[in-house]
Amino acid sequence: MNDTHHGHVTRDGIRIHTAEDFAGMRKAGQVAAQILDDIAPHVAPGQTTGELDRLIEGMVHAHGARSATIGYRGYKHASCISTNHVVCHGIPGSAIPTGRNEKKRTDDAFQDGDILNIDVTVIVDGWYGDTSRMYIAGTPKPFAMRLIQVTHDALMKGIEVVRPGNTFGDIGYAIQSYVEAQRMSVVRDFCGHGLGRVFHAPPNVLHYGRPGREAVLEEGMFFTIEPMVNLGRAETKVLADDWTAITRDKSLSAQFEHSVGVTSEGCEIFTLSPGNRYYPTWS
Ligand code: MF3
Ligand code: CO
Ligand code: CO
């Protein structure tokens, strides 16, 4: 990394960071990823989203970190927990929205076979680490497992094309073309984002697109890639609580998120699982 880049912002408003900035993001990303590792054994049928969030808040503080989401635009929790057909921004402690062909759900306890995304963002020494993963309560349905696998692979296919000279459109294309070939759909209503010493910065990182479009990737850019994939149609709607986003057709949805930094060779993933808790050992 080259110090002449210090403080530089591109024409698209994207900040170019230094080698010391990479060290800050590495620390923050690893705290967030360690929390996602440590919460895994607590996910089970009967467990509640409210209790998981309390555990996560305690873990954030045990690391000497701060939660980026508590107090963010009026949000009150240390995590978002999005179950089944909830696409993102599920509120811990709120009743899990009732899905298609389900008996009415009135509490925040998991049922056998539920799939859920836990999204945690921490601030460590001023740097933001933002990551999410899928978990399973009990025994998953085969089609739910396949959705989770495809969503994780889609994120990694997006990350594979992160290198200087490629574009954000290349990332979106890699994700969209893979997902649609599996006859699943990519959510368009939410996107990834630049981050660093701020939570959300330019650019919007779309999970669909065309090769060669959008801004060119440069060494020192930091951003998230966080595709949401639906088994049914892509459309979403936000519930009356103003946060919870669900699929309009109530089909299952999954998401994985990493925070990455562009290097001279490709990229560094700041939020890799310290315990390598990925398929088949997510939870
Ligand atoms: N962590 C989410 C993201 O990936 C943002 C959550 S904002 C909250 O960008 F307020 F809903 F927590
Ligand atoms: Co994010
Ligand atoms: Co996030």
Ligand 1 atom at minimal distance to the Cα of residue 200: 9
Q: Which domains does the chain have, with CATH numbers?
A: 8-269 (3.90.230.10)
Q: Is the distance from the beta carbon of residue 89 to the nearest atom of ligand 1 less than 6 Å? A: yes
Q: What is the mean pLDDT of residues 104-132?
A: 98
pLDDT tens digit string along 141-174? Answer: 999 999 999 999 999 999 999 999 999 999 999 9
Count Cβ atoms below 10 Å from residue 233 Cβ, excluding itself: 12
Q: Is the distance from the beta carbon of residue 257 to the nearest atom of ligand 1 less than 6 Å? A: yes
- pLDDT in the model for residue 196: 98
Ligand 1 atom at minimal distance to the Cα of residue 69: 12
For the chain, what percent of residues have pLDDT higher than 90? 95
What's the rounded Cα separation, in Å, for the pair 160 and 162?
Answer: 6
Helix or strand or coil: residue 164? coil
Q: What is the mean pLDDT of residues 88-112?
A: 97
Q: Using CA positions, which residue lies closest to atom 3 of ligand 1?
A: 130
- pLDDT in the model for residue 283: 56
- pLDDT in the model for residue 278: 79
> Are 144 and 230 in contact, with CB atoms under 8 Å apart?
no
CA of 107 to the centre of ligand 3 (A): 24
Residue 5: pLDDT over 60:
no
- pLDDT in the model for residue 1: 45
pLDDT tens digit string along 25-64? Answer: 999 999 999 999 999 999 999 999 999 999 999 999 999 9
pLDDT band at 6 (very low <50, low <70, confident <90, very high): low
Residue 79: pLDDT over 70:
yes
Structure tokens given for 87: 């696409």
What's the rounded Cα separation, in Å, for the pair 171 and 213?
Answer: 10
Residue 235: pLDDT over 60:
yes
Q: Is the distance from the beta carbon of residue 108 to the nearest atom of ligand 1 less than 6 Å? A: no
Q: Which residue has the higher pLDDT, 6 or 114?
A: 114
Q: What is the mean pLDDT of residues 69-80?
A: 98
Alpha helices in the chain (DSSP H): 19-39, 49-62, 142-160, 168-181
Residue 17: pLDDT over 80:
yes
Continuous segment of H or E residues that includes residue 230: strand 228-230
Residue 213: pLDDT over 50:
yes
Residue 41, φ and ψ in degrees, nearest 5: -65, -10
Residue 243: pLDDT over 80:
yes
Q: What is the mean pLDDT of residues 60-87?
A: 98
- On average, the pLDDT of the chain sits at 96
pLDDT tens digit string along 173-194? Answer: 999 999 999 999 999 999 999 9
Residue 4: pLDDT over 50:
no
